[in-house]
Structure 1
Amino acid sequence: MKLFIAEKPSMAAELAKCLPGPLVRKDGYIETGGGIVTWVFGHILRQAEPGEYDEKYKKWRAADLPIIPTEWKLLVADSCMKQFNIIKALIHRAAEIIHAGDPDREGQLLVDEVLGYTHNEKPVLRILLNALDEKSIKKALTNLRSNQDFFNLNQSALARSRADWLVGMNLSRAFTLAAQSAGHDITLPIGRVKTPTLALVVRREREIKNFKAADYFLIKADIKHENGSFKASWKAKEEQLGRDSEGRLVDPVIAQALIEKMEKAQEDVSIVSCDTNEKKEPQRLPFSLSALQVLAGKKYGYDPQAVLTGAQNLYEKKLTSYPRSDCDFLPESQKADATVILANLCNSQQEELAIWSSKADTKIKSRAWNDKKITAHHAIIPTEVPCKINTLPEIERNLYFLIAQAYVAQFYPVHVYNQTRAELEYAGEDFVANGRVIVTMGWKELYGGEVKEEEDEDSKTLPNMQKGDKAEFISAALEKRTTKPPVRFTSSTLLQAMKEIHKYVKNPELKKHLKDVSGIGTEATRASIIKELTVRSFLEEKKKYLYPTESAYLLIDALPEELTYPDSTAIWEIIFNRMVEGKAELTSFIGQQTEFITSLCLKAKEVQIENRDANVVKCPRCKQGVLKLRNGKNGAFWGCSRFPDCRGTCNDKDGQPQL
């Protein structure tokens, strides 16, 4: 008997439909002529809590840290016990098992966990389901692989899971105890990904609060060439006075003097150089989940969790491919499906999609079709299942539109334009003028005015001119600008920052190496991390912008930089990727994390956490803790919050410590 273990009931149902023979639904599984299909509910096995390793860990004590398991324990989640026993019995009956978890790191682990926990020794094959329509499933059934091929993916997922446990269980205890010693009645949840994510918002808010607006000046000149007029921008020389550290002209007296100098000069403008180059912009890539979350957030105001839910619904309706993808590329073999997909989009009852699809050219092969860029999954695209888009709920309708639009764009030509850059000289000053002329609109026809790259000056047309030409100076004017503070994060832009984490690392050398890493967190977890920070009152959302709470400031200020900057966790993501490639080992990584956790637990014992509550009384003995009212066998007394490290006490007098 063949046993298929799917990641969730909906996937199991679609898989069963594509197997031969009649379907018979049973409690927790489906019988077919081609085998039995059962399912898990995500991780039905959970990692043991510290207190389940040893009773003494149920009480939080700094002396017990760090807690490092010698053998890692998994336990069946209480809510999943019935389904687990069904799966266990089916594994015992099976002759062959097909692992049908989602085609990613977590999907690999959660079925492997069950197989390992039940000590399975039956042969295991792997099916990769990137879409749930009948054609995709039947094609996947003919391309089964040995589950052993995905051992490295399993090790990467285990490394992530265990590293998160070590950070969360140890450092949450260590720094919560330090905060409580300083008199704070708070629990500080620390996570490998969520803590540096929260720190991004805290630092951004402080930048905004400390920001001081400053005026600066631009100088724009009107120039007349025999072939037409245009504007040129003044460009400061290296030795120019009156500039700030960013190179902006900030001295109004010097700025006005430059204008007067130009107005008085009696000479021609010299065209020092004028170069025109043909530029090509390739088609916008189809979407990974993060890219879809970011664009849907900007265009429709959807938060990342809503986008994930909507994309999952489209997937379960078989209208789009697997949503939790971190890939922007497509397998070359799927290009053959384009004729059917485009024909369906022509009949989608959405006017723009219908027009665009009818003009698409399937002979065009964009950069998206690249087998070398595909891992376990590919970009999110429409399936071959027809979609009447107007029958979908609003969020699904808009997401399907974006996904289809990006897909159709792959069958339009590249965007071609001529970019001209002219350098000018006048009155001893340098000027520059940029312009572009569109040669082929190409794929940007689908996006109209949405896709704008440095539009103002660069997109204007310049007259035909050559190096050595002369032109006439007409006038110059000052444009006063004011610097603006950085913009607060929204859920979508914070998710984008998590994906583009190389921009926020502190180490400049590390920054160079992180551009190829797909950020911190996973496609499936980033939205839930942001939501958790909000639910636990470390972030609050006001008019779509995220603000840190007082608890957020307390947490981030209490922690060492190793936890608040993304450098360390970004390095871990590199190691996780190397594990997938077989270039790093789980045991070595956990050894490194053990050293890291141990050093941070020691730092927690030394950290000084400020308590701004005017009503607290410092312990007169250690000068670090605060006095807390306690009840002893002889009645009420005041004791140091750092007990047992400090045993300072004093009597209580009318609810106040008698110092």
Structure 2
Amino acid sequence: MRLFIAEKPSLAQAIAHGLGHMSKRNGYIECGNDIVTWCFGHILQQYDPEDYDKNLHAWRLEDLPIIPEHWKNKVSSSAKEQYEVIKSLVAKADCIVNAGDPDREGQLLVDEVLNQLGVLNQKPIQRILLNALDEKSVKTALADIRDNRDFVGLRNSALARQRADWLIGMNLTRMYTIRSQKAGYTGTISVGRVQTPTTALVVRRELEIRNFKPKDYYLLQVDWAHPNGVISTTWKPQEQAEGQDEEGRLIKRDPAEQLAEEIRQETGVVESVEQKKGQSQPKLPYSLSSLQIDAGKIYGYSPQEVLDTQQSLYEKKLTTYPRSDCDYLPTNQLADVPLVLKSLRALTDDLAQMVENADPALRSRAWNDKKISAHHAIIPTTITPEWDRLNEREQNLYTLVAKAYLAQFYPPQTFLSTKIQIRCAGESFHVSGKVILDDGWKQLYHGSLEEKEGDDHPETKLPAVKQGDAVSCQESRIQTRTTKPPARYNASTLLKAMKEIGKYVKDASLKATLKDCSGIGTEATRAGIIETIQKRGFVSVTRQKNLIPTEKGYLLLRILSDSITYPDITARWEQSLDAISRKEMRLQDFFQEQSRFVQQLLEEAKSCEIPPPKDVVRCPKCSSPMMRRWTTKNGKKSYFWGCSKYPECKTTLPDRNGKPVFEELGKYRPKKKQSKTDAGSFHYKKPTE
């Protein structure tokens, strides 16, 4: 019997349809001699510290660092029944097929279950890679099942990332939570390799805005008379000219006024005319991040809304795998082009016209097998949607995906760009123009919301001139401009920054690595990370949907080491993870490296100064910060306030609606056992990325 273990039920259902002869059972599907079962994402969880040692339930500085000698997993409480189903089927199987999603996490998700069951190296195990759930894609994948051993490096890289994140999160979260609570803060200071640099992006941007000092600068614009028309130019001061700031902006008005007066008396000459034909290649099909960025810009959808909607379209078999980090297509997908175009033609009138104008024989740069890893760009499948049954968000995102796919069958946009330089009174005046020769793929977006949100420069026609032509000043004007601070992040622009995180590294030599690994986080986790830093109180959302730091967010950047607030750590990890996936680095060596790194970060954390919060509650006896703690009596939780210098100072106060009651000083004293921990009172939550 051959057993397929899918990552989720929808994937299992698609595989079963591809195999045929389906007969549903409790927790699995029989398909002749094949059986298909499923997980619910990660049905195994890593041990928490207290699972290794019950004494670690209390958070104490003296217990750090916590570094497991033997890593262990436990079955999620919500998946125990399904785990037992998988366990019984694995025992009977002659061959097992890992049907996790086609990426690093998908490989680990199924392999870790097989390892937990003790069969990972005991039975024949194969691997199926599915990028879409339509019947044709499934049958193609079933005909190309691989040996699971080919993906050991991929699994180990996911395992290395998972465990290293655990070390960072568990140790630093405890360290900074304990220390910050002693300074008077409440709650958990969660630290993570991805969430912390992401929070830092928002904090640093806000600090830029707060510290920004607007400056006026001036532009001298001159209209020159020529027999063929007016040439509108802008003065470009020489590099060494007086009155400029460090970025070459003119911050003194006098030089512009003097030059404006001078050129009225002189004749100018066309010093150079440069014309070039250019092309704008069709935009690539979407990865998840690029789709989230465009959908946020065009429709205001949050990254999580886009991911959820794409997951829905994927499960309806209308688009391909939604968590793709790739924006290229394999050449074997060319065989499906006629069927996909036929499907799109049957939808809206707009899409039908776009298909009509497409040329299926064209081959854009998107068709590149060398750019494909575990999955390819998000594109429509060959199945025609029942349009009226899709909600508005599904229709909008499907249309975005369809247009990006159709763009691959349109020619490049071609244009003629012209640069004119005029010389007068020893100074240079410049203008650039652009004339569209052929719209090409850009015609797909004419009059659409996408075009309005685009970044293209408008078409600017210039009169025909040649080098040496004489011109005279017709009009000059000095415009006053004011520098503007950078814009605040919203969910979409923050996601873009995460994807382009190489721009924000401290060590410039790591920029290339972060570009190659497509930023911090994964396509599947970035939206969740942005929501996590909101839920954990590091950032809040304004009415305009901008993200701004909270006091807790500012604190995070102030007390944490640059080693964890900058994304450089991810770049260094990716270099190691890539080596692990190629089997050029051992897991053990990577863990030893990370263990040393965690110990270094903990040492730095011990010496950092933590300022008290603005609303700190001071102990009425010793003036140390007080902490809100909790205890249980008869199964009910009750709160009180205790001095952070316990046991040196044992002052306590009752709690009323989250505030201490000073009038009843000392009335409530919990048993000594209840106040054993230095950490104060908080729910323990396992940190994620």
**What TM-score results when the alignment is normalised by the length of structure 2?**
0.89
- Give 1:550's aligned amino acid: E
Percent of pairs with identical residues? 48
Equivalent position of 2:422 in the other structure:
424
- Give 1:541's aligned amino acid: V
- Residues 309, 393 of structure 2: 8 Å contact kept: yes
Distance 1:629 1:48 in 2: 28
Distance 1:384 1:614 in 2: 60
1:240 is paired with a residue of what secondary structure?
coil
Distance 1:512 1:331 in 2: 25
Matches within 5 A, 1:277-292: 277-292=276-291
Distance 2:32 2:538 in 1: 52
Distance 1:450 1:582, change over 3 A: farther
Equivalent position of 1:634 in the other structure:
none
Distance 2:621 2:427 in 1: 69
Distance 2:629 2:108 in 1: 47
Equivalent position of 2:355 in the other structure:
357
Equivalent position of 1:518 in the other structure:
518
Distance 1:324 1:447 in 2: 25
- Give 1:641's aligned amino acid: S
Distance 1:450 1:413, change over 3 A: farther
- Cα deviations across residues 236-260 of structure 1 (Å, max 9, x unaligned)? 1011111122211111233322322
Distance 1:629 1:502 in 2: 40
2:214 is paired with a residue of what secondary structure?
coil
Equivalent position of 2:42 in the other structure:
43
Matches within 5 A, 1:225-244: 225-244=226-245
- Residues 618, 626 of structure 2: 8 Å contact kept: yes
- Residues 621, 651 of structure 2: 8 Å contact kept: no
1:629 to partner: Cα distance: 9.8
1:104 to partner: Cα distance: 0.8
1:554 equivalent to 2:555? Answer yes
Distance 1:451 1:610, change over 3 A: closer
1:332 to partner: Cα distance: 0.6
- Residues 423, 431 of structure 1: 8 Å contact kept: yes
- Residues 342, 358 of structure 1: 8 Å contact kept: no
- Residues 421, 433 of structure 1: 8 Å contact kept: yes
Range moving further from structure 2, 338-347 or 573-582: 573-582
Equivalent position of 1:485 in the other structure:
485
- Residues 638, 649 of structure 1: 8 Å contact kept: no
Equivalent position of 1:95 in the other structure:
94
2:409 is paired with a residue of what secondary structure?
coil
1:526 to partner: Cα distance: 0.4
Distance 1:432 1:169, change over 3 A: same
2:367 is paired with a residue of what secondary structure?
coil
Equivalent position of 2:346 in the other structure:
347
1:58 to partner: Cα distance: 1.1
- Residues 2, 35 of structure 1: 8 Å contact kept: yes
Distance 1:114 1:463, change over 3 A: same
Equivalent position of 2:538 in the other structure:
538
1:617 to partner: Cα distance: 4.1
1:180 equivalent to 2:181? Answer yes
1:654 to partner: Cα distance: 6.6
1:556 to partner: Cα distance: 2.3
- Residues 44, 84 of structure 1: 8 Å contact kept: yes
Equivalent position of 2:336 in the other structure:
337
- Give 1:331's aligned amino acid: P
Equivalent position of 1:224 in the other structure:
225
Pick aligned residue for 2:644 from 633, 641, 649: 641
Distance 1:381 1:475 in 2: 53
- Residues 20, 34 of structure 1: 8 Å contact kept: no
1:35 to partner: Cα distance: 0.4
1:68 is paired with a residue of what secondary structure?
coil
Range moving further from structure 2, 382-391 or 582-591: 582-591
- Cα deviations across residues 50-98 of structure 1 (Å, max 9, x unaligned)? 0111122111111111111111111111111111111011011001111
1:466 equivalent to 2:469? Answer no
- Cα deviations across residues 495-541 of structure 1 (Å, max 9, x unaligned)? 11111101111222323543322000000000011111222232222
- Give 1:234's aligned amino acid: W
Distance 1:629 1:155 in 2: 42
1:119 to partner: Cα distance: 1.0
- Residues 218, 479 of structure 2: 8 Å contact kept: yes
Distance 2:207 2:420 in 1: 41
- Residues 444, 451 of structure 1: 8 Å contact kept: no
Equivalent position of 1:436 in the other structure:
434
Distance 2:487 2:56 in 1: 44
1:13 to partner: Cα distance: 1.1
Range moving further from structure 2, 330-339 or 224-233: 224-233
Distance 1:619 1:245 in 2: 54
1:305 equivalent to 2:304? Answer yes
- Residues 266, 424 of structure 2: 8 Å contact kept: no
2:480 is paired with a residue of what secondary structure?
strand
Distance 1:26 1:629 in 2: 51
1:515 is paired with a residue of what secondary structure?
helix
Distance 1:92 1:380 in 2: 37
Distance 1:324 1:108 in 2: 14
Distance 1:34 1:226 in 2: 85
Distance 1:338 1:640, change over 3 A: same
1:190 equivalent to 2:184? Answer no
1:506 is paired with a residue of what secondary structure?
coil
Distance 1:413 1:132 in 2: 30
Distance 1:285 1:582, change over 3 A: farther
- Residues 619, 648 of structure 1: 8 Å contact kept: no
Distance 1:651 1:282, change over 3 A: closer
Distance 1:471 1:578, change over 3 A: farther
Range moving further from structure 2, 53-62 or 535-544: 535-544
1:603 to partner: Cα distance: 1.6
- Residues 199, 553 of structure 2: 8 Å contact kept: yes
Equivalent position of 2:32 in the other structure:
33
1:465 to partner: Cα distance: 2.4
Distance 1:387 1:472 in 2: 62
Distance 1:614 1:101 in 2: 49
- Residues 156, 579 of structure 1: 8 Å contact kept: yes
- When the two structures are aligned, how many residues end up with a matched partner? 642
Equivalent position of 1:319 in the other structure:
318
Distance 2:171 2:619 in 1: 27
Equivalent position of 1:106 in the other structure:
105
Q: Cα RMSD between the aligned structures?
A: 2.3
Equivalent position of 1:5 in the other structure:
5
Distance 2:339 2:627 in 1: 72
- Residues 221, 477 of structure 1: 8 Å contact kept: yes
- Residues 389, 400 of structure 1: 8 Å contact kept: no
1:183 to partner: Cα distance: 2.1
Distance 2:645 2:608 in 1: 12
Equivalent position of 2:163 in the other structure:
162
1:592 to partner: Cα distance: 1.4
1:450 to partner: Cα distance: 4.1
Distance 1:451 1:412 in 2: 21
Matches within 5 A, 1:452-463: 452-453=454-455, 455=457, 459-463=459-463
- Give 2:342's aligned amino acid: A
Distance 1:96 1:519 in 2: 37
1:608 to partner: Cα distance: 1.1
Distance 1:25 1:368, change over 3 A: same
